[in-house]
Structure 1
Amino acid sequence: MSARIVVTSHGGDFFGEDRHPAQVLTALAAYAQGVLPADGRRIVVKLLRQAADSPAGATRDVSAAVAGQIAPLLRRLARSRVITSKTHAKAASLLADAAERAAADGEQWTLSTETTCTVRITSYGVGHQNDPGAGHRPVVVDTTELRNPPDDPDVRARLTQMTGLDPEVQQYVLTTAGATQLIARSVREIEQRARAGETTVEVLVHCYGGRHRSVAIAETIGADARTLGYGVHIEHRHIDRPILPSRLRD
């Protein structure tokens, strides 16, 4: 069975929507049973369960008045200490935000259930001359303009012994100017492909050696895609290859 996501209107993303894995809404419904007062619990639990359990293609419209009633209940749920998962707490907060926007605009709040796509991410180093075969119109992410540990004498001895899976390397790469924008553009393109009906989106992330920049960026793109409810598979093609000589002079 394909994984499903629930897409809400009046969201905060580039498209004015938010996307939640169906299983997250199921978990929130269970939390709501124990957190919310009896007079508000039923409407929230029913909405979350129906949205999560509906087949792909189903849409539920909530009136502005009802959205206004639900919003503070979702906010209370988001702030509950019972929810220990940051993912679940953030989802509840986003749902509350979207319901508030719909109520404030006097518009219906819509929750649509969709089948999610699979995002296949491959990181690699072009310096190995062993690039992965490209499928149909892959999303290509070039990280070669970002800071590279082997090219930096201040961190070379320490960070080159690590990979982009290590937090210290990720911090080094992700704080490079332009890294955040590169990731955001890539995730946005994945979203556009998914909305256009592609069931599988291939993402190719490259640097020179395939051990640091491409790995760190691939992992971050994958994490963001999972947050959006997509199924994600990541392969690091050259992460275990020897470190290539620096292309820059010290």
Structure 2
Amino acid sequence: MSTLTQLALILFCLLLFPVPAASAQDSDLRYQPEQQILPTLTVLEQKALAENKLLLVALGASWCHDSVALLERFAEPTLAAALAERFEIVLVDVAYLQYGQATTTRYQLPLYYGTPTVMIIDPSNRQLLNKPYLMQWTNAASFDEAAYQQYFLTTQFKQQFAQTQQSAITEALQQQIRDFEEQQAATLAIGYQHLSPLLLAYETDPLADRATFNAVWNEVKKFRSQIIADVLALQQAAMLDTSSPLKIPSYNEFSFLKPAEADKE
């Protein structure tokens, strides 16, 4: 059989038995640039609402082990099919900590406190439904398939949110807690700005200063890991006693932002 005849036969078979288009769960899931995602969010919210789904917004990066692990789990065929039934999924690339805040603030979170950050959103009002569990999924690689299935497929997120809304926290105390979180998020954003070029160098330059990066990374990590816990503790205290002033935590200033002793002279 000639080469031309073979090619003709292959084309005929492809026309007769076309290869199915790759579905989302067959392809490699990737975090997409925030600049591309932001203009699509309104449409995706409307789509989720029309299909009676929740919005799942995950912010991560390719350099983050846990972010990669989350996508690997999400891509497993059985879980992927079940997730698609319940969620409209949005994957946002925070790059080297330069992006992501525009997405989180859209959903009542002043900043992400780790990667990956997995937000479950009510598309009808853009409310964040799983705030108490945000830090859990920054350790996504630590959870097995059963934990993923239990959390993402069985948790009644709307019920949790409704219970939170019924709490007896006064508006004044709620505002005080919001102010506290926004202040810490603003400080963390400054920390991210300082850390970002160090992280980029760490990931791409074999000659980068590892010691400086590790020191800054660990200090920022300690700070960001505490914010949600303190916010939840303040909410708990406000529910238990609405008459007493809240004891607002205070944090040390980032050491890498303090002026050097030589600069003070």
Please report the TM-score for the alignment, with normalisation by the length of structure 1: 0.30
Structure (1/2) with the larger helix percentage: 2
Structure (1/2) with the larger strand percentage: 1
Q: Whose radius of gyration is greater, 1 or 2?
A: 2
Structure having greater relative contact order (Cα 8 Å, sep ≥ 6)? 1
